[in-house]
């Protein structure tokens, strides 16, 4: 059995990382790349596609906080992250190690490597498609 350190709420809430519009890649706290593409390829948990024109910069990479919610693709309405974690049977350690990608106004774009929010998803009218990849 291996022990892992879990951040307390105060430390977890302070750790935010800003991503400016001109970033093509970040490596801290998690590796993400940002590329403009012409069309959507296969979507999976390591890639999402968003309408770049709907993004509000700087983007924020942070851990989850009590009260966070998102609008999952394929579902009606919003869902609290705490309920999502429970429904997906996340362990306490998994919850504490999950990063979020958010708009400048703190709206969740992506539970990184898990689920995308539908509000910024690509539509037929989207002109600028941004592919975000987790490495």
pLDDT digits (tens, 9 = 90+) for 29-66: 999 999 999 989 877 889 999 999 999 999 999 999 99
Phi, psi of 70 (to 5 degrees): -150, 170
Q: Taking the alpha carbons of 73, 107, 78, 10 in that order, is the dihedral positive or negative?
A: positive
Whether the pLDDT of residue 7 is over 60: the answer is: no
- Predicted local distance difference test score (pLDDT) of residue 14: 64
Query: Could you give the dihedral angle defined by the CA atoms of residues 64, 65, 71 and 76, in that order, rounded to the nearest 10 degrees?
Result: 120
Q: Rounded to two decimals, what is the model's pTM?
A: 0.87
| Residue 69 scores a pLDDT above 50 | yes
Q: Check pLDDT > 70 for residue 11.
A: no
Above 60 in pLDDT, residue 9? Answer: no
What percentage of the chain has pLDDT greater than the value 90?
81
End-to-end CA distance of the chain, in Å?
27
Res 99: pLDDT: 97
Handedness of CA 18, 49, 82, 1 (dihedral sign): negative
pLDDT > 70 in the chain, percent: 90
Q: Which pLDDT score, from 0 to 100, does residue 15 have?
A: 85
Q: Are the beta carbons of 51 and 126 closer than 8 angstroms?
A: yes
């Amino acid at each position: 059995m291996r022990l892992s350190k879990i951040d307390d709420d105060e430390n977890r809430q302070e750790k935010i990382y800003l991503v400016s519009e001109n970033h093509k890649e970040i490596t801290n706290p998690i590796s993400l790349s940002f590329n403009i593409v012409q069309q959507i390829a296969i979507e999976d948990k390591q890639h999402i596609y968003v309408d770049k024109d709907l993004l509000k910069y700087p983007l924020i990479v942070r851990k989850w906080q009590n009260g966070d919610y998102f609008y999952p693709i394929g579902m009606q309405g919003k869902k609290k992250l705490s309920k999502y974690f429970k429904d997906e049977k996340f362990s306490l350690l998994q919850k504490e190690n999950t990063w979020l990608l958010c708009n400048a106004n703190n709206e969740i774009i992506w539970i990184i490597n898990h689920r995308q929010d539908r509000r910024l998803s690509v539509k037929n009218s989207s002109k600028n498609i941004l592919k975000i990849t987790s490495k």
